[in-house]
Amino acid sequence: MGQKIFSMLVWAGITVLVLVWLPLLAITRLFDRDPARYRTGKLFRKLGFFISRINPNWKIHIDGAEGIDDRNPYVVISNHLSNADIPLISNLPWEMKWIAKKELFEIPVLGWMMNLAGDISVDRDSSNKRVGVFSRCKYYLENNCSVMFFPEGTRSRSGLLNKFSYGAFDLAIRENLPILPIVIDGTQDCLPKKTWVFKPDVHVNMKVLPPVDTTGMTKEDGKELMQSIRQKMAEQLAEWRDLEPHQVDAMQKKGQALG
């Protein structure tokens, strides 16, 4: 079967899944009395799982996801390589509310489902965006539901680990909750760029690193905490790519270029 015909079938399958899922999600939301919309959100993540599995060319390996109770909330963070990160991470059997740019919530069908699931919209142009996001995160964490951040803020075009923003780490310290780091690699090859044709034989890795306790930490510890976790994530990426950690770190690459 030609790659174009194969890709057409995959896209058709994804479209059918999305159209079937929307009414299912709406009905589930109607009867979901959990303040964190737990059942609705978990059903939405299942859509991501099935989308990630509908393409047999995506070979997915997941490590470290055992023993995590998704009703014992975490501040979850992950590096960000492509839009395929979302269905990949949805393979994890947990519900967590995603922090995402408001433009995604304005997309028909996808945005409707994100709203139904209770995901958190952030307006990057707002002067008080952090206050609103933190308020929503606090609400979900207090109702025993994790929240999910991409601390790089946007996809890494180079595949390197970009600079982290401080927000997720500040939130974890404020709420005295552990941070759960996730490292992913290979998703940059999952979704086509400037073409609708999927690549064959894409290998994707995802690893859940051990939770990092924030008990007793103060705001002054936040930057050190962030750098420590970022370094661990860089080390994992480097191990998969058979490189040194500084070779996958965009900040070190930038420093070398400036030097």
Least confident of 48-62, 127-141, 200-214: 127-141
Residue 121 pLDDT greater than 90, yes or no: yes
- Structural domains in the chain, sorted by start: 3-258 (3.40.1130)
Give residue-wise pLDDT tens across range 225-234.
999 999 999 9
Q: Measured between alpha carbons, how far is 149 from 166 in angstroms, rounded to an integer?
A: 11
Pairing of strands 146-149, 120-122: unpaired
DSSP 67: T
DSSP 145: -
DSSP 66: T
Q: Token match 């909330």: residue?
A: 73
Give residue-wise pLDDT tens across range 73-96.
999 999 999 989 999 999 999 999
Contact 184, 173 (CB under 8 A): no
Q: Measured between alpha carbons, how far is 88 from 52 in angstroms, rounded to an integer?
A: 6
pLDDT band at 191 (very low <50, low <70, confident <90, very high): confident
Contact 213, 203 (CB under 8 A): no
Interhelix angle 3-31/110-117, rounded to 10 degrees, is 40
Mean pLDDT of 241-259: 78
Q: What is the DSSP string of 150-174?
A: -TT-S--SSSSB-PPPSHHHHHHHH
Model confidence, pTM: 0.93
Q: Which residues pair with 76 in a beta bridge?
A: 148, 180
Q: Token match 């057409």: residue?
A: 8
Q: Which residues pair with 77 in a beta bridge?
A: 149, 181
Residue 254 pLDDT greater than 80, yes or no: no
